[in-house]
Amino acid sequence: MAKANKRTSLADLAKELGLANSTVSRALNHASDVSDATKAQVWALAEKLHYQPNSLAAALRKGRSNVLGVIVPHINGAFFPAVVHGIEEVASKAGFNVMICQSTEDVDREKKHVEALLKAQVDGILVSMSNTTRDYAHFERVRSQGTPLVFFDRMPALPDACGVVVDDYLGAYQVMEHLIEQGCRRIAHFAGPQILNTTYDRFRAYQDALKAHGIPYREELVVHLPGSSTTAGMTAMQQLLQLPERPDAVFSAYDFPAGGALQLLEDYGIRVAEDIALVGFSNEPFTTMIKPRLTSVDQHGTLMGETAVELFLQLLKRAEPLSSRRIVLKPQLVVRDSSLYGQPAFHKQA
Amino acid sequence: MAKANKRTSLADLAKELGLANSTVSRALNHASDVSDATKAQVWALAEKLHYQPNSLAAALRKGRSNVLGVIVPHINGAFFPAVVHGIEEVASKAGFNVMICQSTEDVDREKKHVEALLKAQVDGILVSMSNTTRDYAHFERVRSQGTPLVFFDRMPALPDACGVVVDDYLGAYQVMEHLIEQGCRRIAHFAGPQILNTTYDRFRAYQDALKAHGIPYREELVVHLPGSSTTAGMTAMQQLLQLPERPDAVFSAYDFPAGGALQLLEDYGIRVAEDIALVGFSNEPFTTMIKPRLTSVDQHGTLMGETAVELFLQLLKRAEPLSSRRIVLKPQLVVRDSSLYGQPAFHKQA
DNA sequence: GAAGTTTACACAATGGTTTGTGGAGATTGG
DNA sequence: CCAATCTCCACAAACCATTGTGTAAACTTC
């Protein structure tokens, strides 16, 4: 009665049955070249001994681990969790395990995680870049090894990069057209880090939309946020309120700062929607809970995660030089009370 | 100029340098029994050839994968993402990769994920049970294999189960005492599934607190939620409003239903806080964004994740029969406007 | 009934690393 | 100068499953 903690291996089954390892393996897997009788024997014993195949050994031999690596900047807010949700859903269905890492917006940790995932022989890596990533050498390494690499949401400006993003430019442009349609003319912008394609595109759309509608671009109406927190939005709003002339709308690159601005405006007795329109970006759950409900842009996080995995699966099939594919999802402008300029937003009747 | 896509292995280094595999291995690892000169040689060549150790092979040989499996019911809301955040943080720091799975509240998927993780030779499993889990055979299997098993938040009623939970009973009891202190006497409860220790404890505390303060328990004031959504809370509130006598407080086992109730009450012109106190549970981000701000209970999700990993690391060290340890975190009642019964909650000045 | 095909399995190599053992050469001590 | 000790490294087994090849026996076919 020793420890006997050792898991039963395929070889144990073989020895017990007087078969060769290969026969047992074939009996358990593709199962050609082995009689139904022995198949039954093998399966019965496997069941009885609680045999569990060792994925590591199989992966080592087959050169395929069925593990998918994922690197996200963080797991805060609603967006990235939604993406992870979608990723896990589809990956799991396709027989893949998901290894998750967060870079915490730190390129060094991002690099380390890439290394660790490659060492773990993952079959592919899904990554949304940190906002401190400047060079892409660590990503090049992945591709040069032949490991499928799929970006999502935040992707580098490389011509041959695969990924799935949402059309931030379009989403932001729609926001702007909506605001202009509402009669807003002094539209302010809370900008995110310009190094990221996402927030950069939102800013670009802000500028282009102004231009297209003959509205002059005023630098003083753009506040670069230090983060995406509520308080960041409050101080940004405070800054705007100190201008000689108040903006009549604010388009924030994130939802939480918009929420902060909303709170601050309330404290100042300035009525959101009636006096100043407010729009966020991301469609966080709280946007439907607050008063007035916040107009925002949905990024389809779950769909993005699902699509990213499907793209990965495609890359995995073809051993070809990984044709660069970029899938662009359409964002959805969700108009709610906060952007209906000039109209009383509170107590709108059902 | 063939494909040459093959990654360079330890054996390649050995051959190139005319050394034995063992020497190269020792040079790269603990590095005793090998001269500094050859160590340098090995490292130099490893660098030059971009050698990346194959974790799978190492894990297979060492019987240790440095992978931690995590099973969560889902990745929605703020709580579970926070836990995952904490888990990844500490696990990563300890040199572990994290494999994440969601059961989607489906015990069958939970079982499959347990199987998959064991096959993947994970060094331990962290799990928060699905609400459809009735028997714990699949968990017993894990422990019988000697794989450390740590529950978090939702754990089974087994005497020898390890895990980290928050004291839901205490949190809920504090909610009740707070409400009673505010003068509430007809306190309603939105109850979660009674199969889960968490929501069961919240309900139990609700009952006990009433009893302790000589307030009769009224069955009609308890609504069992079909889910934890906003709409679930709205219909539950609607149901309560049809009672001959209105409750003067609602303690919801989740935040979102409380938010839904708040919206419904507003539609009916019933003032939250003034006319009816409202308390949720989980301290979702939206609780601070809405008006009135929602009183809630913080579950310290991130801390829970961190603690769970630390508990796992302890279990991993000792090969002993895994002493059952249950770590209980203190929840934090966060009193905000919505529960200040009788007081006007809106426009409270700063 | 001989030649050719199929069936069902065994043998052995393979994947990449770790680790116990052993041994040649260099060093030290008496 | 010989024995004892150390250094530094090689050899080979082990981890566990997969897979190409080889080979008996059973079967088909004319």
Closest CA to A92 of B134, B87, B79, B104: B104
Domains, chain B, in order of start with CATH, read: 11-53 (1.10.260), 65-166+301-329 (3.40.50.2300), 168-299+334-339 (3.40.50.2300)
Q: Where are the alpha helices (DSSP H) in chain A?
A: 10-17, 21-28, 36-48, 55-62, 79-93, 107-119, 137-144, 168-181, 197-212, 230-241, 255-267, 301-317
**Confidence class for position A310, pLDDT limits 50, 70, 90:** very high
- The gap between B68 CA and C18 C1' (Å) is 22
Question: Within 15-54 of chain A, which residues have Cβ less than 7 Å from strand D?
Answer: 21-22, 24-26, 28-30, 51-54
Nucleotide nearest to B23 (CA to C1'): D9
B289 touches strand D (CB under 7 A): no
Is A188's pLDDT higher than 50? Answer: yes
pLDDT attached to residue B6: 75
Question: Residue B17 CA to C20 C1' — how many Å?
Answer: 23
pLDDT at A4 over 50: no
- Which residue lies nearest D12, CA-to-C1' measured? B22
- Determine contact, residues B258/B228, Cβ cutoff 8 Å: no
Sign of CA dihedral B237, B243, B244, B248: negative
pLDDT of residue A271: 96
Partnered with residue B328 across adjacent β-strands are: B165
Smallest Cβ–Cβ distance between A56 and the set B99, B121, B256 belongs to B121
Residue A332 CA to residue A172 CA, distance in Å, equals: 10
Angle, vertex CA A130, rays to CA B49 and CA A298, nearest 5: 135
Residue contact A88–B75, C-beta within 8 A: yes
CB within 7 A of strand D (chain A, 53-92): 53-54, 57-58, 60-62
Q: For residues A110 and A113, what is the distance between their CA atoms, to the nearest angstrom?
A: 5
User: Which residues on chain A are in Cβ contact (under 8 Å) with B113?
Assistant: 92
Write the DSSP string, B314-345: HHHH--SS----EEEEPPEEE--GGG-TTS--
Distance A95 CA to C7 C1' (A): 32
Chain A's closest residue to B259, CA to CA, is: A289
| Beta-carbon separation of B119 and A52 below 8 A | yes
Strands A332-334, A296-298: parallel, antiparallel or unpaired by DSSP?
antiparallel
In this prediction, residue B31 carries a pLDDT of 75
Do residue B54 and residue A121 have CB atoms under 8 angstroms apart?
Answer: yes
Using the structure block, give the residue that is written with the tokens 């998918």: A68
Q: Tell me, in Å, how far CA of A106 is from C1' of C15?
A: 35
Q: Quick one: which H or E segment has residue B220?
A: none
Cβ contacts from A onto B, under 8 A: 136
Q: Contact A298/A342 with Cβ under 8 angstroms?
A: no
Distance CA A276, CA A241 (A): 11
The one-letter amino acid at A138: H
Q: Which residues pair with A150 in a beta bridge?
A: A126, A162
- Protein CA at A322 to nucleotide C1' at C14, angstroms: 28
SS3 B223: strand
Q: CA–CA separation, B254 vs B297, rounded Å?
A: 9
The SS3 assignment for A225 reads coil
HSE (side-chain half, CA atoms, 13 Å) at A52: 18
Considering only the C-alpha atoms of chain A, give the largest distance between any 2 of them, rounded to a whole number of Å.
Answer: 90
Q: Report the percentage of chain A scoring pLDDT > 70.
A: 95
Residue–nucleotide distance: B12 CA to C24 C1' (Å): 25
Chain B CB contacts of A99 under 8 Å are 67, 97-100
Provide the pLDDT for residue A346: 52
* pLDDT bracket for residue A42 (50, 70, 90): very high
Q: Which of A285, A331, A301 is nearest to A86 (CA)?
A: A301
Please tell me the distance from the alpha carbon of residue B327 to that of residue B155, in angstroms, as a whole number. 12
For residue A308 the two structure tokens come to 């990213």
Which of B119, B122, B265, B296 should one mutate to test binding to chain A, selecting the residue with the greatest count of A CBs within 10 A?
Answer: B119
Among B325, B327, B285, B334, which residue's Cα sits nearest to residue B167?
A: B327
The answer, yes or no, to whether residue A185 has pLDDT greater than 60, is yes
Cα A89-A285-A272 angle, rounded to 5 deg: 155
Q: Nearest CA to CA, how far is A57 from chain B (Å)?
A: 6
Specify whether the CB–CB gap between B163 and B152 falls below 8 A: yes
The CA–C1' separation of A219 and D22, in angstroms, is 80
Contacts of B76 in chain A (CB under 8 A): 81, 85
Model confidence band, residue A342 (pLDDT cutoffs 50, 70, 90): confident
- Would you call the peptide bond into A226 cis, given omega within 30 degrees of 0 as the criterion? no
Compute the mean pLDDT over every residue in chain A, rounded to the nearest whole number.
94
Q: What is the pLDDT of residue A328?
A: 97
Residue A165 amino acid letter? V
Nearest nucleotide by C1' position to the B14 CA atom: D10
Q: Is the model's pLDDT at A338 over the cut of 90?
A: yes
- Select the residue of B57, B59, B99 nearest A97 (Cβ to Cβ): B99
* Distance between CA atoms of residues A339 and B38, nearest Å: 69
Q: To which residue do tokens 């959805």 refer?
A: A332
What's chain A's length in residues?
A: 350
Residue in A54, A85, A99 nearest the CB of B98: A99
Q: How high is the pLDDT of residue B348?
A: 43
Model confidence over A96-115: pLDDT tens digits?
Answer: 999 999 999 999 999 999 99
Task: For residues B285 and A256, give the distance between their C-alpha atoms in angstroms, rounded to a whole number.
Answer: 10
Compute φ and ψ for B18, nearest 5 degrees: 70, 25
Among protein residues, the one whose C-alpha sits closest to the C1' atom of C11 is A20
Residues in A touching B115 (Cβ below 8 Å): 52
Position A345 scores a pLDDT of 56
Please tell me the distance in Å from A214's CA to the nearest CA on chain B. 35
Give 10-residue mean pLDDT values along chain B (350 residues).
Answer: 66 94 93 89 95 97 97 97 98 98 98 98 98 95 93 94 97 98 97 97 98 98 97 98 97 98 96 97 97 97 98 85 82 97 60
Report d(CA A151, CA A126) in Å as an integer. 6
Beta carbons of B60 and A57 less than 8 Å apart? yes
Q: At residue A221, does pLDDT exceed 90?
A: yes
Give the least confident one: A12-26, A122-136, A265-279, B4-18.
B4-18
Residue among B55, B64, B82, B57 nearest B148 (CA):
B64
Percent of chain A with pLDDT over 90: 89
The pair of three-digit structure tokens given for residue B299, joined into one six-digit string: 């579950």
> CA A8 – C1' C21 distance (Å)?
28
Strand C nucleotides with an atom less than 7 Å from a protein beta carbon? 7-21
Give, in Å, how far the C1' of D5 lies from the CA of B23.
22
Report which of residues A55 and A318 the model is more confident about: A55
A8: nt with nearest C1' to CA:
D16
Measure the CA–CA gap between B255 and B287, rounded to whole angstroms: 8
- Judged by CB atoms closer than 8 Å, whether chains meet at A89 and B74 is answered as no
Are A302 and A164 within 8 A, CB to CB? Answer: no
Q: What is the mean pLDDT of residues A169-196?
A: 98
CB contact under 8 A, B98 and A100: yes
Q: Per the structure block, which two tokens stand in for B192?
A: 């979660």
User: Strand D positions with any atom < 7 Å from protein CB?
Assistant: 7-21
Task: Determine the Cα–Cα distance for residues B315 and B296; give it in Å rounded to an integer.
Answer: 33
Facing B286 at nearest CB: one of A65, A146, A285: A285
State the Cα–Cα distance between residues B100 and B108, nearest whole angstrom: 16
The verdict on a CB contact (< 8 Å) between A100 and B116 is no
Q: Are B85 and A76 in contact (CB < 8 Å)?
A: yes
- Model confidence at A319, pLDDT cuts 50, 70, 90, reads low
A301 CB contacts (<8 Å, ≥6 apart)?
Answer: A78, A79, A80, A81, A82, A83, A85, A86
For testing contact with chain B, the best of A47, A71, A119, A282 (most B CBs within 10 A): A119
Q: Is the alpha carbon torsion for B41, B44, B49, B52 positive or negative? A: positive
Instruction: Over range A163-189, report the average pLDDT.
Output: 98
Q: Which is it for the CA torsion A203, A209, A211, A217, positive or negative?
A: negative
Interface test with B, best of A10, A64, A84, A100 (most B CBs within 10 A): A100
Mutate to test the interface with A, among B289, B291, B309, B338 (most CBs of A within 10 A): B289
Predicted confidence (pLDDT) at residue A2 exceeds the cutoff of 50: no
C-alpha separations of A137 from A130, A134, A141, A316, B135 in Å? 14, 9, 6, 22, 49
